[in-house]
Amino acid sequence: MTALTAQDVGVTLLERQVVDGVSLSVPAGTWLTLVGPNGAGKSTLLRAVSGAVAHSGTIAFDGVEVARLRSRERARLVAVVPQDPTRPEGMTVLDYVLLGRTPYIPYLGTESAEDLAMAGELLDTLELRSLSHRLVTELSGGEFQRSVLARALSQQAPVLLLDEPTSSLDLGHAQQVLELVDELRASRGLTVVSALHDLTTAGQFADHLVLLADGRVVAQGSAQEVLTEELISAHYGARVRVLTDPQGGVVVVPLRPGRSVREIGGVA
């Protein structure tokens, strides 16, 4: 199990401050979700955590700064599901999933029986077995998204970064993927950091939420503390009703102009 800390992190891209003075702490084995309007800096912050972009301040895993790790060391610590992954030409789904085993394969070596078994297990879990010999360029958006998650999980890294992991999935597969991540978090002690645009999904799965706006942290805490009608109105410019489901999860319902909140059922 690995904890993540970020202290006064800043990222500048094209002379624009995209992330500005962000500090957060993610205890080992917990799930933190970044929310915020488009352009808030969520994806850029995840890229900084993964070591993909230069940053000021400090990002560390169990006290070890990410900037001091070699790429192979980082890949054993952090697995990433990016928002817009590329599809390598001529690569099958199985070979794509096996890319996640690269940090463990000796230079000039090949995949072991253990690597192949792990890939096969993930193909089964994510309903990709029948597609294993298809080219990734031939997959639908949802099929490829599941392949990307399988590749990340095959790394067996203790920290998993998810940037809009359900954007190409239908409702059933989206729920399946997030439930799988949560099960792995519980069983393997994964530390999960995600960026999600769907506020209800964020409120259902995350232990802790961080609301970003203009690259800064404007609120953080539980779903009940962050997903309030006032904060959503202020930073999204949206009129919503926030409900609590019987299990304690938060549900965010958009309201049409002119409709009274009294017309929306539920328990606040």
Q: What is the pLDDT along the chain (268 residues), one digit of tens a residue?
A: 789 999 999 999 998 999 999 999 999 999 999 999 999 999 999 999 999 999 999 999 998 898 888 888 999 999 999 988 999 999 999 999 999 999 988 777 788 899 999 999 999 988 899 999 999 999 998 899 899 999 999 999 999 999 998 887 888 888 888 998 998 889 889 999 999 999 999 999 999 999 999 999 999 999 999 999 999 999 999 999 999 888 778 899 999 876 655 554 544 4
**Residue 165 corresponds to which tokens in the numbers above?**
């992991």
Class of domain 4-222: alpha beta
How much is the pTM? 0.90
Q: Are 166 and 146 in contact (CB under 8 A)?
A: no
- Alpha-carbon gap, residue 98 to 213, rounded angstroms: 37
CA atoms in the 13 A half-sphere facing the CB of 98: 17
Q: Are 51 and 58 in contact (CB under 8 A)?
A: no
Query: What pLDDT score does 268 carry?
Result: 44
Neighbours of 190 (CB within 10 A): 24
Q: Are 22 and 42 in contact (CB under 8 A)?
A: no
Q: What sign does the CA torsion over 161, 166, 168, 173 have?
A: positive
